[in-house]
Chains A and B, each alone.
Chain A
């Protein structure tokens, strides 16, 4: 009986040892498998990370490129905008200048009355140029003298006729060239021979008078680009306006004389 129990025990023990051995083998195999899988996973992980990183880098690069393109475009647009703004300011200023020139020219040719023409010239020099003291001289071709016919800021009695070619005003009239003093000196008292600007009034090359400016308004420090354009306009248009108004006045006078004479004859 004991023998049978012993044999069973050994048999079972043998079986158990075999089973244990099998389990150990299985376990070892599984461990190896896990290790393999882990290694594989590790390898794949690197691969996945690397590919997603490179994709990200590519996208970042693309976005950075686009960003720099946008920045470039923005700076180009800003530059364009600045250019447009500058152009706009220039056009505004040009527009203002043209308005001034148009009004001056329109006014100069708005009348054939000599006194009114002179008044308009004076107004242009005061209001559009900003002169405080100036004299309008007309050339007397018989005496070759420049005679003051209108003044501003100085009484006409305090001015004198100037011989053609004499002094700054006379020389400007003779040569027909504009004169501008390099510096605008502090105005102390009226000095006929110290103008800051002389503008000969000319019909083609024939000088008929001169505008001599001696002092600018206190708020006006120097001549501007527009002033030079106004001087050019005055040089031509004021001269023709003066000349035609003088001719018209003379012809009107002659006409009334002739009419009076005819009336006398026909009575």
Chain B
């Protein structure tokens, strides 16, 4: 798979940098960053992405709203979505997965766990 585009929607610059840092270890991956859900939607409409990583607790538009809106878009109905959040309750996880996320990771996230989830969802080695 050549030229994988990943969008990272996260309000914390520290967390964003950590995720981007981890993703850069994968071959042929380019990462675009967004600060919140609205910024994320804007970037999703500007170019085609292969995977979305989103936080839940963000200003302006949270991650759950973003996931539900992305799933309504025909262009992104099959795009893998990973939620990375501090919300560790089982009901939050269920909600995220019901809304259309493919994986739900809780913080503090291990970067190798994130990488293996990305690889699984994109079916890359």
Contact = CB atoms under 8 A, between A and B. Distances in A.
Interface of A: 92-93, 95-96, 99-100, 102-104, 106-107, 120, 123-124, 126-130, 132, 217-220
Nearest to B86: A217
Given A100-B18, A217-B106, A219-B88, 10 more contacts: A92-B112, A96-B110, A96-B112, A123-B13, A126-B86, A126-B107, A127-B14, A127-B108, A217-B88, A218-B89
B68 interface: no
A128 B13 CA distance: 12
Interface string B3-33: 0000000001111011001100000000000
A95 B13 CA distance: 20
Given A99-B22, A219-B106, A104 B111 contact: no
Contacts of A127: 12, 14-15, 18, 86, 107-108
Interface of B: 12-15, 17-18, 21-22, 86, 88-89, 106-108, 110-112
Contacts of A104: 14
B17 A220 contact: no
Contacts of B89: 218
A27 to B, nearest CB: 88
A107 B13 contact: yes
A128 B88 contact: no
A251 B14 CA distance: 27
A192 B111 CA distance: 33
B14 A123 contact: yes
Contacts of A129: 108
Contacts of B12: 123, 126-127
B17 A107 contact: yes
A96 B110 CA distance: 7
